[in-house]
Amino acid sequence: MSWMIDILKGPGVETKWCYACKVDLPISEEYQTRFPDKYRARYEFANAIKLGKITRGTHCQMCEIECLTHGHREDYSKPFDVIRLCVGCHGRKHRKVGDLIC
């Protein structure tokens, strides 16, 4: 699957490699220290996808378009309580701009 993310570790930095974007996404120790709940939730969710325990969404739950979804959490203590959103709806969710209509 082209969207899978590999987790690579180096000294002091963990890197996610996104096959869809073909970029390294560095996760520093500072990030892990400052946002431990967010880091743990993302890590558990990504591992569950990688192990095939859950599947990545293929449709936005707000506008229902077919896309490669982003996960959005309201509560990081619940790592699998994820709303699957397209890029546009995810951005609007964070900016809280009006109704979430793409």
C-alpha 38/C-alpha 49 separation (Å) is 17
* pLDDT tens-digit readout, 33-91: 888 998 899 889 988 988 999 988 899 999 999 998 988 998 999 999 999 999 899 88
Mean pLDDT of 20-45: 75
Confidence (pTM)? 0.61
Mean pLDDT of 19-30: 57
Among 30, 3, 33, which residue's Cα sits nearest to residue 17? Answer: 3
